[in-house]
Amino acid sequence: MSRTDYYHTEEAPKPNSIVAAASAVVVNDTGEILLHRRVDNDFWSLVGGGMEPGETIAETAIRETFEESGLDVSIVKLIGVYSDPKHVIEYSDGEIRQQFSVCFLCRVIDGTLKCSDESKEVKFFSVDDLESLKLHPAQKVRIDDYLKNSCSAFF
């Protein structure tokens, strides 16, 4: 399924859904950040996805990280809640979603890095390498918030 991201643009269609989702800033022992290059829009992105019935939002972050990267993680802290009504995602199946995501800082505890059916590549990047990547602005906001190392969550 393909998707089109609209970010602070007048051309965005009107949303017809809001889905609870989680994303994760996963860091390794050297401070590099995990990203995957998405199949549906070719952007580099944090791992994450929609919450499923019967799980907590924290469990969503852990599950999605494993599914999209092969890594088991533990949650360190909440980075922020991102619910920007000017970030709209249109899917090829007709869903038009207003962005809503809870982002967590996570540390790797086990696993082997691998691609999923949602990604072309999965790898860790140094903070200096991020500027050269095709990274969606909404993802950059979350990473920038992580880098501020605040003791309070962002809303």
The full set of domain ranges for the chain reads: 3-147
What's the pLDDT at 153?
A: 82
Closest listed residue to residue 135, CA positions, set 68, 61, 46:
46
The pair phi, psi for residue 2, each rounded to 5°, is -90, 165
Res 155: pLDDT: 81
Q: What is the pLDDT of residue 151?
A: 81
pTM summary value: 0.92
Domain 3-147 fold is Nucleoside Triphosphate Pyrophosphohydrolase (3.90.79)
Dist. CA 10–CA 18, nearest whole Å? 19
Q: Which two three-digit tokens encode residue 73? A: 């993680």
Whether residue 14 contacts residue 103, with contact meaning beta carbons closer than 8 Å, is answered with: no
Strands 101-111 and 71-82: what pairing? Answer: antiparallel
**What DSSP element (H or E) covers 60?**
helix 57-69
The confidence score (pLDDT) of residue 99 equals 85
CA atoms within 13 A of residue 118's CA, in its CB half-sphere: 16
Residue 115: both structure tokens together: 């691609």
Q: Tens of pLDDT along the chain (155 residues)?
A: 788 989 999 999 999 999 999 999 999 999 999 999 998 888 999 999 999 999 999 999 999 999 999 999 999 999 999 999 999 999 999 999 998 999 999 999 999 999 999 899 999 999 999 999 999 899 999 999 999 988 888 88
